[in-house]
Amino acid sequence: MIEFGHLTHAGLRRDLNEDTYYGDTEMGLWLVADGMGGHEYGEVASALARETIVREVRDGTPLIQAIRIADEEIIRNSRRRHDALPMGTTVVAARVSGSLFEVAWVGDSRVYLWRDGHLAQLSQDHSYVQELIANGAITHEQARSHPHRNVVTQALGVTDPRNLNVETMTGELRPGMQLLLCSDGLTEEVDDSVISRVLAQQDCSAQECVDSLVAAALDGGGSDNITVILVRSH
């Protein structure tokens, strides 16, 4: 059995929430998209990503292909509007079928797996600071306060489709395991140890855990839009 909790919040410093998300237990699909591009462009890009991926997956398209089609859709829409700036969005998505899961991502929205009392980040941020970490130039701790920590190196609608890197990972989702999908509005304010502590609470429903995480991000400053989905297997 799958239980999931979900919440999005504009945060404390943004008037507009450019994040969007989707969750459907029957279809076994969950996703978070964090739009960018200023004005309402980010909102349009993330909504287009959500609608396209949901439609494609419902029609039987594999997840990775559905994300690529969403990318084309955003680029097409942007050209039609003759936008001066490209509009883009990150995306992280999970599909669950029986006891198997597949996750896919572009950008710095993340997916974590909680298993046997341990939190593991499955996704690798497509970001400038992640590249610096990979090259040994800075530490994870330094990345948290780096002035360019919000610069993504991959996004739907922005990256040349030929260079778009939709990364995927598969695994087993056994009872007691949890998948956490979130935009960087959560991870910007809340570190992994706090996330771990919240997910460890046995008597907490998936929705209560999500509510706690969003509250923690707001307590931390709420500098960005915050979106959290928690998918729990029973």
Residue 202's pLDDT is what? 87
Q: What are phi and psi of 143, to 5 degrees?
A: -60, -35
Q: Could you tell me the residue ranges of all domains in the chain?
A: 2-233
HEC secondary structure over the chain: CEEEEEEEECCCCCCCCCEEEEEECCCCEEEEEEEECCCCHHHHHHHHHHHHHHHHHHCCCCHHHHHHHHHHHHHHHHHHCCCCCCCEEEEEEEEEECCEEEEEEECCCEEEEEECCEEEECCCCCEHHHHHHHCCCCCHHHHHCCCCCCCECCCECCCCHHHCCCEEEEEECCCCCEEEEECHHHHCCCCHHHHHHHHCCCCCCHHHHHHHHHHHHHHCCCCCCEEEEEEEEC
Instruction: Enter the pTM of the model.
Output: 0.97
Angstrom CA distances, 94 to 8, 39, 105, 160, stand at 17, 29, 9, 24
From first to last of its 234 residues, what are the pLDDT tens digits of the chain?
Answer: 999 999 999 999 998 999 999 999 999 999 999 999 766 789 999 999 999 999 999 999 999 999 999 999 999 999 898 877 789 999 999 999 999 999 999 999 999 999 999 999 999 999 999 999 999 999 988 998 899 988 999 999 999 999 999 999 999 999 999 999 999 999 999 999 999 999 999 899 999 999 999 999 999 999 999 999 999 999
- Residue range 58-79, pLDDT digits in tens: 999 999 999 999 999 999 999 8
Instruction: Kindly report the CATH class assigned to 2-233.
Output: alpha beta
Chain centroid offset of residue 193 CA: 19
Which tokens go with 37? 């591009």
Looking at this protein, which amino acid is placed at residue 179? Answer: L
Looking at this protein, which amino acid is placed at residue 225? Answer: N
